[in-house]
A = this chain, B = another copy of it.
Amino acid sequence: MNQQSISRIMHRAKVEAILFLSLENIRYLCGFSGSDGVLVISGQERTFLSDSRYEEQAREEIHDANFKKYKQKIEGLARFLGALGIKRLGIESNAITYEDYRKLQEKLPRISFVPLAKEIGSLRVYKGAEELEKIRRAIRIASGSFTDTLSGIKPGVRERMVAENLECRLIRRGSHQPAFNTVVASGPRAALPHGVASDKPLQKGETVVVDFGACFQGYHSDETMTLILGKPDAQQRKIYEIVRRAQEKALKAIRPGVSFRRIDAAAREFIVRAGFGKYFGHGTGHGIGLAVHEAPSISPKARGVAQEGMVFTVEPGIYIPGWGGVRLEDIVRVTGQGCEKLTGLSKDLEENILVR
C-alpha cells in the first residue's frame, strides 16, 4: 500500500533510496515500535537497522523488511548505504539532526543527499481502517478516563491532582502512556494554551481548560474540554459561546476539496468578527496519528486541501492574559461529503458547567 507513495516520492525526487529516521515513519513503514534505529528503502527493498538492544524486538516486530545490526549508528549506516552503490539518497531532513547529516555526508562524499521534508511529511495523512480503529480506541480510552475524573474536579483540588487522576486512568484503561503532558489550566492560567497542570488549587467560578490524550498501539487521541466551576458569568458565557461557534464553523467547512486555510479561516474569522482575533494565536488544528502533531496543519499559512480519509483536530481558542481562556478541541475524519467527529464528549456549555 504505502510502497506506491514511496515509489512516487523516489521518482519525483530522482533518488534511488530513502533514509527514514523518524520513529513514527519507521513504525508506519515496517512495524518497529522501539526507540532507536533507521529504515532504508532502496527500490522495493526495505532494511531496518538498529543496535543489539533492539535486535530481538526488531526481529519480532518488523514486516516487509530485513534487519541489520550496527554497533555504531552512523558508521554502520554509512557502511550499509555505501554498499548500495547509489548516487542520490533521499533523506528525511526534518528527522535527522544536522550533526548526523554532516557526519554521514562526510563518510559518503560520492552520494548526493536530497532533503525530503514536505514530501515525506504527508506520507501518513490518509488513515487506513486499522489506523482509524486505533485512533478510535485511543479516543475511547481518553474520554472514558476524562468522564471518570470529572467527579474529582472541584474547588480546592489542585490542577496537578486532576492531571494525576486523569493520567492514572489513562494508563489503567490501556493508554501506553499519556499522549502528552496533560493540560489543566484554571482561572487566569487558562490563558496559557499549553498550561501544564500546576499546584494551583481550582477555585469556584473559574474556567478550567483540560487538554488530554491517550496512546493506543502508537496512535494518539487529543481532546480539549473547558469546564466552568459554577454558574458562568457573562464574560465566560460570551467567550465560551464564541469559541464553540467558531469550532462549529470550522467543522461545517470541512469536506473534500476545501483548503486547510479555508477551514482555519472559518473559525478564525468568526473569532475576529467577535472582536477577539488577537487572542487566538495558534492554528485551528493539526493532523494526528502515530504523532500527536503531524500533517496536515490547519492554519492561516497552510497549503493543501482536505481529502477523504484525513484525520485532524479542530481546536480554536481564546486566551486573554490576566483573565483566562477557553479552548474546545475535537478530532475529525474527512468523509466523502463532510466530516465525522471521532471524539464524543459534548462541547455544549451547559454540559460543562460543574456546580457543586
| Interface members, chain A 183-233 (any B CB < 8 Å) | 191-196
Q: A93-B102, A94-B97, A99-B117 are in contact. Are A281 and B53 (CB under 8 A)?
A: yes
Asked if A11 lies at the interface with its beta carbon under 8 angstroms from chain B, I say: no
Q: Which of these, B52, B94, B168, contacts A99 with CB under 8 Å? A: B94
Asked if A321 lies at the interface with its beta carbon under 8 angstroms from chain B, I say: yes
B172 with A177: CB separation less than 8 A: no
**Which chain B residues lie closer than 8 Å to A181 at the CB level?**
35, 176-177
A281 with B52: CB separation less than 8 A: yes
How distant is A192 from chain B, measured CB to nearest CB, in Å?
A: 5
Asked if A301 lies at the interface with its beta carbon under 8 angstroms from chain B, I say: yes
Asked if A95 lies at the interface with its beta carbon under 8 angstroms from chain B, I say: yes
**Which chain B residues lie closer than 8 Å to A100 at the CB level?**
94
A171 to B168, CA, bound (A): 7
| Interface members, chain A 167-185 (any B CB < 8 Å) | 167-168, 171-172, 176-178, 181
Q: Which of these, B98, B167, B301, contacts A98 with CB under 8 Å? A: B98
Q: A97-B94, A164-B172, A172-B168 are in contact. Are A195 and B57 (CB under 8 A)?
A: yes
A340 to B99, CA, bound (A): 34
**Which chain B residues lie closer than 8 Å to A51 at the CB level?**
281-282
A95 with B97: CB separation less than 8 A: yes
Asked if A34 lies at the interface with its beta carbon under 8 angstroms from chain B, I say: yes
**Which chain B residues lie closer than 8 Å to A95 at the CB level?**
97
B194 with A35: CB separation less than 8 A: yes
Q: How many copies does the complex hold?
A: 2
A50 to B96, CA, bound (A): 22
| Interface members, chain A 292-344 (any B CB < 8 Å) | 301, 319, 321
A100 to B282, CA, bound (A): 20
**Which chain B residues lie closer than 8 Å to A282 at the CB level?**
51-53
Asked if A56 lies at the interface with its beta carbon under 8 angstroms from chain B, I say: yes
A301 with B72: CB separation less than 8 A: yes
1/0 per residue, CB under 8 A from B, across A7-41: the answer is 00000000000000000000000000111000000
Q: Which of these, B34, B52, B194, contacts A34 with CB under 8 Å? A: B194
Q: Which of these, B96, B172, B194, contacts A54 with CB under 8 Å? A: B194
Asked if A153 lies at the interface with its beta carbon under 8 angstroms from chain B, I say: no
**Which chain B residues lie closer than 8 Å to A54 at the CB level?**
192-194
A56 with B191: CB separation less than 8 A: yes
How distant is A200 from chain B, measured CB to nearest CB, in Å?
A: 12
Asked if A91 lies at the interface with its beta carbon under 8 angstroms from chain B, I say: yes
Asked if A256 lies at the interface with its beta carbon under 8 angstroms from chain B, I say: no
A2 to B181, CA, bound (A): 28
**Which chain B residues lie closer than 8 Å to A192 at the CB level?**
53-54, 56-57
Who on chain B is nearest to A36 by CB?
B194
Asked if A144 lies at the interface with its beta carbon under 8 angstroms from chain B, I say: no
How distant is A179 from chain B, measured CB to nearest CB, in Å?
A: 11
| Interface members, chain A 29-71 (any B CB < 8 Å) | 33-35, 51-54, 56-57
13 CB-based A-B contacts, threshold 8 Å:
A52-B193, A52-B319, A53-B192, A53-B193, A57-B192, A93-B102, A94-B100, A96-B97, A96-B98, A99-B115, A164-B171, A167-B171, A171-B171
Known: A34-B194, A93-B97, A99-B115. 8 other contacts (CB 8 A): A34-B196, A53-B281, A57-B192, A93-B99, A96-B98, A101-B101, A164-B171, A168-B168
